[in-house]
Homo-oligomer: A and B are copies of this chain.
Amino acid sequence: MRATDAEIVRALPLFGGMQDAHFEALIGAGYLQRFPQGVVLIHEGERPDFLHVLVQGSVEFFSESADRATTLSLLKPPSAFILAAVVLDQLYLKSARTVEPSVVVLIPAQAVRDVFDKDPAFARAVVAELAFRYRNLVKDLKNQRLRTSLERLANWIIAHDEQMGRTGSFKLPIEKKVLANLLGMRPENLSRNLAELARVGVHVRGSIIDIRDIEALKAFARPDPLIDDPAV
Binding site for B on A (CB under 8 A): 44-45, 63-66, 68-70, 72, 83-85, 87-88, 90-91, 93-94, 116-117, 120, 123-124, 126-128, 130-135, 137-142, 144-147, 151, 184, 222, 224, 226-227, 232
Contacts and interface: CB of A to CB of B under 8 A. Distances in A.
A128 B88 contact: yes
24 contacts: A63-B142, A65-B142, A65-B146, A66-B222, A70-B145, A70-B146, A72-B141, A83-B131, A84-B135, A87-B127, A90-B232, A93-B138, A93-B232, A94-B138, A116-B127, A127-B130, A130-B130, A130-B134, A134-B134, A134-B137, A141-B144, A144-B144, A144-B145, A145-B184
Contacts of A65: 142, 146-147, 222, 224, 226-227
Contact of A127 (B91, B94, B127, B132): B127
B135 A133 contact: no
B226 A66 contact: no
A120 to B, nearest CB: 6
A116 B34 CA distance: 38
A126 B116 CA distance: 13
